[in-house]
Structures are given as C-alpha cells and as structure tokens.
Amino acid sequence: MKIAMVSCKQAAMLGAKASFNALTVFEKMKLKMHVKMCIACQSYKANSELIDEAVAKILEQKEKQELSLSAEQRKKILDAIQ
C-alpha cells in the first residue's frame, strides 16, 4: 500500500503531467487515491482545472482575433529601423 501512496508534491507533479501527457495506469491510480484522501489536493486539482479552462479560452479567443498593424504603426516601425 505504501508503494501506491504519494506526497502532495508528487500528486501535484502527476496532475501537471496529466494536463500535458497521458499518465500510466499506475500513476493515475496513485493520483486518484491521493486526491480522494487529501482535501488540499482536491482544491488544488479543482483550481488547476479552472486555470486550464481559462487559458484554453484565452488562447481560443486570440486565435480568432486578426492581428494587424495600422499604416501609421507600420510607418513608425520602418522609420525606427532606418
């Protein structure tokens, strides 16, 4: 049983890894067991998921925006270069 237990720091690392890569079955089990027993890590997991969703929305909005310089801005840049 001790083999399956992880510290809060290790659980946070596994949670971060889960956001970017797939966890192994054993890693998923360790993370799930820890989060079920640790109130602090439950809160951390919820906050992390909220932040991930917010970042995804921001990136999605930025992709939809068409970014371009005005003629005046382009002229200022060209003048600064020369």
67-80 confidence digits (pLDDT tens): 778 899 989 999 99
Task: Look up the pTM and report it.
Answer: 0.64
How many other C-beta atoms lie within 10 A of the C-beta of residue 38? 16
pLDDT, position 76: 92
Q: How many residues does the chain have?
A: 82
Give the whole-angstrom CA distance, residue 1 versus residue 23: 19
**Please, are residues 34 and 41 in contact by the beta-carbon 8 Å criterion?**
yes
